[in-house]
Structure 1
Amino acid sequence: MAKYLISFPAAAMVVPDDQWNAVVRDSHAVIEEAKAAGAYVFAGGIDAGAAVVRVSADGTVTDGGYAAARPLDGGFAVLELPTREAAVAWAARLARACRCDQELRVFMFDPAS
C-alpha cells in the first residue's frame, strides 16, 4: 500500500462565516471515517501564526523559508491506501467536507520507514 498526501492551500478555502462549523464537523467526520477504515496516518493544518525557520546541517537557524518557494500553508491528511482510485475517492470526500478542491500526491516508498 502507498501513502497519499491529500492537501489544500489556505487560500482555496473560501467559506462563508456561517458555514465554518459545518466544515469543521464534516471534515472531522471524514478523518474519523479514515481512522475507522484503518487508512489514517496523520492529519492537521500548518499553523500560519508560527514563525518559519530554516535549519542548516550545522544547526544554524535562519528566519524565514526558502525565498523561491511558495508559502506552505493549509490543511493536510496522509492516508495509507491500496490504490490511486481509493486515494481519489478519499480526496473527493475531503473536498466535499472542506468545500474546496484537494491536491493529491503519492509518497515515494522508503524501505527504511
Structure 2
Amino acid sequence: MTEYLIYFNQQWVGDHTEEWFRGRGPLARAVIDDLHAAGQYVFAGGLVEEVEEAFSADATSGTLSFTDGPFTESKEWLGGLTIVDVPDEETARMWAGRIAEACGWPQEVRRFKPRGPSV
C-alpha cells in the first residue's frame, strides 16, 4: 500500500453561500465514511481559515525560534487535507475525484516517499 496526500489550498474554494457549504458537508462526510469502510483512511481534516493564527518553528540558524504567523508571505495557503493508504495511483485518483466532487473545488494529489525501515 502507498500513502497519498490529497489536499487543497483555501483560495481554490471560491465564494459560495452558507447554504451551498452546508450542502457540501454531508457529501464530504459520505466520502470519508466510504474511505473508512474501504480500510484506506489515514487522516482527513480542514484547517482554520485564519492564517494569522498560524505560527512557525525554525531551527535553520542553529537556534530554535518561534514566530507568529505563517513562515512565508504567500497568496495561497493550505485549506485542508486527506491522507489515504491505497494499493495504487488509480485508487488515489478515484478518491481525489470523489473528494473534489463532494467538496466542489479542486484537489491536488501527491504520493508520500516510501518510509525507511523502523529503528
On whether the aligned pair clears a TM of 0.5, the verdict is yes
> The residue matched to 1:94 in structure 2 has which SS?
helix
What is the Cα deviation at residue 94 of structure 1? 0.4
Aligned residue pair count:
113
How many angstroms apart in 2 are the aligned matches of 1:67 and 1:75? 18
Give the whole-Å Cα distance in 1 for the aligned partners of 2:112 and 2:106.
Answer: 19
Q: TM-score, normalised by structure 1?
A: 0.86
Cα distance in 2 for partners of 1:68, 1:112 equals 36
Q: Which residues in structure 2 correspond to 1:19-34 (within 5 Å)?
A: 19-34=20-35
SS at match of 1:7: strand
**What's the C-alpha RMSD, in Å, of the aligned pairs?**
1.9
Is 1:52 equivalent to 2:55 in the alignment? yes
Q: Percent of counterpart pairs with the same letter?
A: 33
Deviation of 1:105 after TM superposition, in Å, equals 0.6
Structure 2 unaligned spans of 5+: none
Whether contact under 8 Å (1:54, 1:64) holds in the other structure is no
CA distance in 2, matches of 1:58, 1:40: 37
Q: What secondary structure is seen at the aligned counterpart in 2 of 1:44? A: strand
* Superposition deviation, residue 42 in structure 1: 0.3
State the partner residue of 1:16. Answer: 17
